Amino acid sequence: MKRIDADLLVIGSGPGGAMTACVAAEAGRDVLIVEEGSHHSVDSAPSFSLAEMDQKYRNGGLNVTFGGTSITYLEGRCVGGGSEINAALYHRPLDQTLREWRDQTKIHGFEPADLWPHFEAVERDCNVNLVPGGPGPAADLLKRGAGAMGWSTRDIARFWSYPAKGEPPLAGSGRQSMTVTLVPRALRAGARLMPDTRVLRLTREGGRVTGAIAERSRAGEPHERYELRAKDVFVCAGAVQTPRLLRRSGLTHNVGDTLQLHPMIRVTAHFPEPMNDLGYGVPTEQVDAFKPALTLGCSYSSVPHLALWMGAEPTPGNASAKLDKLRDWRRTGIFYVAAVGTGKGRIRDLPVVREPFIRLPLTTDDLKRLGEGFLRLGQLLFAAGADAISTPVNGGPPIRDRAALDAVASALPQGKMTVSTIHLFSSVPMGADDRVTGTDSYGRVHGTTNLYVNDASLFPASPAVNPQGTVLAVARRNVLEWLGG
């Protein structure tokens, strides 16, 4: 077994891991980053394509929780993690949310004023920008429908680089993922990166973690085992993989018992006029009138994505009818409702296989909230001129009027909908109250002296917004605390 030594071992290279490695390496620490997935450039495959899903998603995107309603979830499995595959939307959470977290688990040093400098650094270092010249026709349509209903909307910034003023729309733009921003900075500062390497377990001597045992697997090469030795270890593998690794290593106190997520339902809507222009990328307009409980927005609407979310109508010749609709893709868009979920899930490893078992209920309150959101989304789409909306209920017919919309929204059925999420968190919550937390206020795992978590697992509850910005800001806060300790 080969041995590699470092001052700091960072497990995972998504937003939390990339920030941890970058800050530590630039402070002069010898950093080793270990990533289970492969290292691809940000443009190695078209965004939201099947090729990208094969390269960068865990299991090609086919991951599911179990409960009355199964929830499909997406995880990045590549250098850069979720930042390589998500919509790259950036939010600061509400002050109210941060204070609720602070009070809920007794987090020290967590006033909003303490965190805003870290958000400002993220916005600067990761190129957070609004779309110049407006977010495109699909977003304009969402804004028009919301305006007709008297609801406020907001254009959301992205981790994205846009062309200079006067250049063609979106020419030369680019996703500012971790492989573009923080990972290269960490490497320039001397950090080492091991992709295609899965950490099997952490090694421990009492309360001290000495490193990890890992296995490297690359196409066409034999598997290699490594002993990774480090003075300190940060686990930043995401809200599912982080608790799995901790539990495999015998660390189970409040670990993997409180996973939370944002349940989402997506529908397609057809309009009389063309409205789907893929050249603008992901539409960035969101309805904020019902936040933090509910967010309404529109998704990237390529033909494969339309096929996925269009649903199956219970009529003869459905395949042919669906193809006809896909040919009319310029008049069709995907729209979503994202809710703050109330269920809490348990993450456990299945024997023998390398996959987790996640039991997470979609609660009655979740169904009611999603039903309310779907009703409001449908009202918005009809107000914007839609002539048909697909139903979130599997096998149901399209919705063409308000009466049908009311009927579906009032009784979303458990177990008969396609529910998904791209936002997972809260599986190893942080805070000084060790009765309900897995780490202290800065991510140090209870019962250890030198093991830290630094990703979305730490959130005590939902951030109620896209979480990437919060992950980066909290990770920066924590690693700077570690450096000063």
Distance CA 281, CA 200 (A): 38
Fill in the DSSP letter of residue 163: P
Least Cα distance to 426 among 458, 382, 397 occurs for 458
Residue with tokens 């400002």: 120
Q: Is the pLDDT of residue 240 over 80?
A: yes
Q: For residue 112, report the phi and psi dihedrals to the nearest 5 degrees.
A: -50, -40
Q: Is the pLDDT of residue 315 over 50?
A: no
Read off the amino acid at residue 12. G
Provide the token pair at 23: 């800050």
Beta bridge partners of 343: none
Q: Are 369 and 293 in contact (CB under 8 A)?
A: yes
Beta bridge partners of 336: 266, 297
Provide the token pair at 346: 């348990």
Read off the amino acid at residue 83. S
pLDDT class of 309 with cuts at 50, 70, 90: confident
Distance CA 475, CA 17 (A): 8
Distance CA 237, CA 234 (A): 9
Distance CA 237, CA 412 (A): 34
pLDDT at 171: 47
Active site residues: 423
pLDDT in tens, 438-448: 999 999 999 99
Q: Is the pLDDT of residue 450 over 50?
A: yes
Set out the domains of the chain in order of their start, with CATH numbers.
Answer: 2-39+78-126+176-256+425-484 (3.50.50.60), 137-157+263-421 (no CATH)
Q: Are 138 and 302 in contact (CB under 8 A)?
A: no
Residue with tokens 């918005």: 380
pLDDT at 223: 87
Query: b/e for 199-222, b at 16 or more Cβ within 10 A?
Result: beebbbeeeebbbbebebeeeeee
Residue with tokens 């688990």: 105
For residues 128-157, average pLDDT = 91
Q: Which of 61-65, 150-154, 267-271, 466-470 has the lowest mean pLDDT?
A: 61-65
Measure the CA dihedral 446/448/449/454, to 10°.
-60
Least Cα distance to 72 among 83, 57, 84, 87 occurs for 57
Q: Is the pLDDT of residue 324 over 90?
A: no
Residue with tokens 């309009």: 271
pLDDT class of 401 with cuts at 50, 70, 90: very high
Distance CA 96, CA 324 (A): 47
- Burial (CB count within 10 angstroms: exposed 0-12, middle 13-18, buried 19+), residue 374: buried
Phi-psi region of 260 (alpha: psi -120 to 50; beta: other; left: phi over 0): beta
Distance CA 397, CA 321 (A): 12
- Burial (CB count within 10 angstroms: exposed 0-12, middle 13-18, buried 19+), residue 7: middle
324 C-beta neighbours (distance < 10 Å), count: 10
pLDDT class of 281 with cuts at 50, 70, 90: confident
Least Cα distance to 454 among 212, 285, 234, 261 occurs for 234
pLDDT at 221: 77
pLDDT at 46: 85
Distance CA 103, CA 99 (A): 6
Q: Is the pLDDT of residue 143 over 90?
A: yes
Q: Are 270 and 387 in contact (CB under 8 A)?
A: yes
Read off the amino acid at residue 394. N
Q: Is the pLDDT of residue 215 over 70?
A: yes
Cβ-proximal residues to 411 (8 Å cutoff; 6+ apart), any chain: 371
SS3 447: coil
Q: Is the pLDDT of residue 389 over 90?
A: yes
Distance CA 235, CA 248 (A): 13
pLDDT at 172: 47
Q: For residue 329, report the phi and psi dihedrals to the nearest 5 degrees.
A: -65, -25
Distance CA 85, CA 79 (A): 11
Distance of CA 485 to the CA centre of its chain: 30
pLDDT at 319: 59
Cβ-proximal residues to 327 (8 Å cutoff; 6+ apart), any chain: none
Secondary structure element (H or E) that encloses residue 33, with its range: strand 31-34
pLDDT class of 312 with cuts at 50, 70, 90: very low
| DSSP states along 122-141 | HHHHTTEEPPTT-S-HHHHH
